[in-house]
Each structure stands twice: as structure tokens, then as C-alpha cells.
Amino acid sequence: MTKYGSFPGTRPRRLRTTPVMRRMVAETRLHPADFILPAFVREGVSEPVPIAAMPGVVQHTRDSLKKAAAEAVEAGISGIMLFGVPEESKKDALGTPGTDPDGILQVAIRDVRAEVGDDLLVMSDLCLDETTDHGHCGVLDEQGRVDNDATLERYAEMAQVQADAGAHVVGPSGMMDGQIGVIRDALDQIGREDVAILAYTAKYSSAFYGPFREAVASSLKGDRKTYQQDPANVRESLRELALDLEEGADMVMVKPAGPYLDILARVADAVDVPVAAYQISGEYSMIEAAAEKGWIDRERAILETLTGIKRAGAQNILTYWATEVSRKL
């Protein structure tokens, strides 16, 4: 038996012998700068409201959101993605709170910018689902279908009010055709060429969004399969990617992360812009629930999933564990 080029001369286990050895040869490393914290702020509450389906996550008050943003800065993470939850009585068919300068999301953007300035990237969800009484991501036509082009007009207005409020980055998540180009034009028209667009390029119609519905107090009836992507498709994502880049996306994202690591890898291999992935509510809740029952090691599972997402090609990861993990790193 030869001792060179194969066993027993070649022993890969030599590079796994101690924690320091494993750390030295690790091919993928997590860093606080990789992370973006999704955060919810709810109008009209005096205390943070726990989200039952997402243990440890809350709908913030304006004050508790500012505290969470300051903690994110201290932990060294890069950004915070804000989702506004208006009072139910203010929702309507057009999602008016989404373009009201005094709507909860715009108020929250101003609050966080005042608290952290440029020390944290303030990112805003640019979508109508939290603000419409029907819960869809767009305006409905007379037949109850999402009207793509009418929705784009609303997105343009949203982009401008979010930029005026102080967003560094807008994140259009509605999956309307042409949304990136319309939003880029709307921002440029008001002289906000500095505001970046994080495109939700591949956003699949997923069962794993379930807990998020509670987090944003969604009014949705039915589903979003006519605009979110079919989980069976790959080429469709690459087509969406090409269109988003052509329309002016500065960064692109895959959502969800864990069930779509193959899509994430394909996207990361295809582009020369930053690539993000969103570890969504269902991914979070499954780990928390299994850990609570003692079925898995919570901390190891969190780090393993995040490492897998980064290994697949994500430069940045939106995760509800962003601050917690960054402190430990």
C-alpha cells in the first residue's frame, strides 16, 4: 500500500484535529458585517408585542425599535430592514399608509436614522401588503386581480417617501414586472441617485412565510402565486435576475434562503453585484420550535444554517438572529 497520494499517506483528518486547526482551514467564515436584521414596528402600541409564531421576535414600539437599532450598531451588523405595521383602521385598497409621510414605516425610518445616523444601513420594505385591507402586494383591478402597472405607480410614490424619510436602501419585495426600473426612475427624479435598490430578484411562493403573516398582521385572503415565483422553477429566477440588473438593481436577493440554496448558488455565480439571501420566518420558527423541544442544539443549528447560506454564495444574510449571532462572533 503506497504512502503517497492515497491512504495511509493521505489523511484529511489531520486538518480536523483541534478547534484551532479547524478554524484555520475553514473555507467559509461568518462576520457581523454579513448580517441584516429584519425588524417590525407597529403603530399604536405602548409595549413591544411578542409574535407567538416567532419566539423571541416582537412587533416593536417606536422606542424599542430605536433601542434594537442601537444594539445592532453595537453588534457590528450592517443593516436593519424595516417593516411597518399600521393600525388596522388605516388600511385601505390602495395601501395609503405606505405613501403617507406620517405612515408608521416612514416615521420609523426617520426615528432610526435619528438614532444611528449612517452607522447602520436603514433599509425599508417597499411593498403594499402590510398596508392594504386585502393583504396583496399590489392594487387590485375590478376582477380582484393584482394590477401590475397600477401597482408600479404606487411603488414609485413609496420609493420617494421612503427616500425622503431617510432610507439608505429600498427593498422592493412585491415581485411586480418592471418594478426595479420604475423605482430607479422615481428616485432619480427627486435627486436621490444615492439611494440603493436591493431587488427581491428570486422570491418564491413559499409555505415558509407562514409566521411572517402574524408578524405584519397580514389581511391576505388567498395566495400570491400569480406574482411570486413557482418553487419548481430555476430558469425563471435567472430571467428575473437579468431583468433586475438591466433595470438598475444595485444588489439582488434570493428569498427564502434555506430551501433555495441551489438558486442562491446559481445567482451568485452569474453576477458581479452583491448577493443577499433572506432566512425567513418559517426557517427561524422551525429551529426555535425544535430547540424548545430539545430535539436539536439551537446554537449549532443557527450557525450551521447561516454558514450554509453564506457557503452557497450570499454576501449578506437577512436573519432574525443577526444581533444575537453577531455578538457571539
Instruction: Identify whether 310 is a catalytic site residue.
Output: no
First to last CA, the chain: 44
157 annotated to a ligand binding site: no
**Separation of alpha carbons 183 and 153, rounded Å:** 9
Q: What kind of fold does domain 29-327 have according to CATH?
A: TIM Barrel (3.20.20)
Cα 201 off chain centre by: 11
237 annotated to a ligand binding site: no
Q: Which of 81, 74, 43, 73 is nearest to 59 (CA)?
A: 43
- Placement of cell 438614532 in the chain: 115
Q: Which of 84, 55, 59, 251 is nearest to 168 (CA)?
A: 251
Q: What percent of the chain has pLDDT over 70?
A: 95
Instruction: Identify whether 203 is a catalytic site residue.
Output: yes
> How high is the pLDDT of residue 282?
94
**Separation of alpha carbons 109 and 36, rounded Å:** 15
List the catalytic residue out of 203, 221, 293, 328: 203
Give the pLDDT confidence of 308-327 residue by residue, as tens digits: 999 999 999 999 999 999 99
Q: Which of 27, 59, 155, 179 is nearest to 99 (CA)?
A: 155
Give the pLDDT confidence of 219-273 residue by residue, as tens digits: 666 677 788 889 999 999 999 999 999 999 999 999 999 999 999 999 999 999 9
Judge contact between 80 and 72, C-beta under 8 A.
yes
213 annotated to a ligand binding site: yes
Judge contact between 314 and 276, C-beta under 8 A.
yes
- Does pTM top 0.85 for this prediction? yes
**Separation of alpha carbons 34 and 276, rounded Å:** 9
Give the dihedral sign, CA 195/33/244/132.
negative
Strand partners, 126: 172
pLDDT at 212 over 80: no
Q: Residue 9 — pLDDT band, cuts 50, 70, 90?
A: confident
> How high is the pLDDT of residue 1?
54
Provide CB contacts within 8 A for 11, sequence distance 6+: none
> How high is the pLDDT of residue 150?
94
Boundaries of every domain in the chain: 29-327
List the catalytic residue out of 255, 293, 310, 328: 255
Q: Is 328 helix (H, G, I), strand (E, B) or coil?
A: helix
- Residue 305: C-alpha distances to residues 133, 148, 312, 319 (Å): 35, 35, 11, 11
Q: What percent of the chain has pLDDT over 90?
A: 82
Judged on CB neighbours under 10 Å (0-12, 13-18, 19+), 139 is buried
Give the pLDDT confidence of 275-303 residue by residue, as tens digits: 999 999 999 999 999 999 999 999 999 99
281 annotated to a ligand binding site: yes
